[in-house]
Amino acid sequence: MAEKGVKVFGMWASPMVIRVEWALQLKGVTYEYIDEDLGNKSDALLRHNPLTKKVPVLLHDGKPIAESAIIVEYIDEVWKDGYPIMPADPYERAQARFWAKYADEKCNAAIYPVFTATGEAQSKVVHEAQQCLKTLEKALEGKKFFGGDAFGYLDVIVGWYAHWLPIIEEVSGASVVTEEELPLMKAWFDRILAVDVVKETLPPRDKLLALNKARREQLLSA
Amino acid sequence: MGSQGDVTVLGTVVSPFALRVRMALYLKGVSYEYLEQNVFDKGELLLASNPVHKKVPVLIHGGKPVCESVAIVQYVDEFWSGAGFASILPADPYDRAVARFWAAYVDDKLVAAVLGILRAATEEERDEKVEAAHAVVAPMEEAFATCSKGKAFFSGGDSVGYLDLALGCHLFWLETLRSMFGVTIIDAGRTPQLAAWAERFLDTKAAKEVTPPTNSVEEYAGKLQAIWAAAASAK
């Protein structure tokens, strides 16, 4: 007998998980949040996502879905009368999916080295991260959000940058998203942080900063 | 509701991602102009249409480019939708999520596995890479059982859908690995349902429509190997 309702298996510091929370909250869906210890994953998580064992996993009436971008589209389709997350127009949808893939594949890969690079190596990785983000920034031109006037799918996918990138910058001492290099993105960060569902779900900055500092030290000493 | 505005596809006859797009258009009955690209000497139109990645496939519809095969196939499904058009993605949101999940898995893991086999420098390394490819394919046997619901295809019906195209487009390369190295990645012994599906898929009109010319994949694979060898000896 399948359990009714919505559950999210997540981890408080994960930006991929927060996408799912934003989508659910935009739709006004009540859900149970299960915070996982990634070093000691629950049986339930392992059962619901045996393939990758990662968070987030959405469980809807007992049926699991993994991969945050896919979960967000699912949420948009199931609660289709709620807040519109994906654009309505097929061409706009294709653009949103294109940029979501670009961000997740290229930008994330370019940002990660910034977290650990030190000394001379840092300026090279910062430059590469900026190039990636400048390409992405083009999709913001003339708009308040990637979704246009309103917070939409691509904002849900990359909005985490607004909270996590400044922390990565602080922890590593690098400067990536500046007024000079990425003015549109910087302005968009402020708008993202003012969105209600974002404000209500972001992990506390000091806690996230402390976690990332510790993680960076661990990686650098390995 | 779609219309027959101009549709152009930039692709190569060997690219699984381009084949996927062409199969999608075939399923929808949409006619298009096909422009074969030389990826070793990229043309103006490709560079202008996909400045970010400079890759195939690109769909150009009414002058507007759509890039990334996952985005293109869904665009094709959404634009040419409604009465008279076959559906590519299933109707139910959960089935759609499952199809998207496995399609993303295939693109993430299978391509890397195929290239790993092609790049292997020794027979021992090749054996390892083949094992890795088997491991990638293994979970899809159960995925097939779940998605097909007893029917012939991942779509859960008697004709192909999103996940069939997502995995099916790679079968031509798997066949080439068989002819080049004698290795079988979707093996009837290990993944019987998947092997049977693969045969059925290759027999569909959509697949036959885009089957690469004889030896074309092997020739392309040879070019890649030559490029890798040149890069390795240049170090």
Q: Rounded to whole angstroms, how far apart are CA atoms B150 and B34?
A: 36
Cβ pair A197, A26 in contact under 8 A: yes
Q: Please answer yes or no on whether A102 and B52 come within 8 Å at the CB atom.
A: yes
**What is the average pLDDT value for chain A, to the nearest integer?**
96
Average pLDDT of span B210-234: 93
Neighbours of A215 (CB within 10 A): 14
pLDDT, residue A3, reads 84
Q: Does B93 touch chain A (CB under 8 A)?
A: yes
Residue among B64, B68, B93 whose CB faces A101 most closely: B68
Total beta-carbon pairs less than 8 A apart between chain A and chain B: 57
Give the confidence band of B1 by pLDDT, cuts at 50, 70, 90.
very low
From the list B52, B72, B93, the residue facing A74 with the nearest CB is B93
| Residue B81's pLDDT band (cuts 50, 70, 90) | very high
Q: What is the ipTM of this complex?
A: 0.96
The average pLDDT across A206-210 equals 97
Mutate to test the interface with B, among A70, A95, A104 (most CBs of B within 10 A): A70
- Check pLDDT > 70 for residue B218: yes
Distance CA A58, CA A49 (A): 10
Mean pLDDT taken over chain B: 96
Check if B96 contacts A (Cβ < 8 Å). yes
Q: What is the DSSP string of A149-179?
A: SS--HHHHHHTTHHHHHHHHHHHHT---S-T
Does A1 have pLDDT greater than 70?
no
B contacts of A78 (beta carbons < 8 Å): 93
Decide if pLDDT at B3 tops 80: no
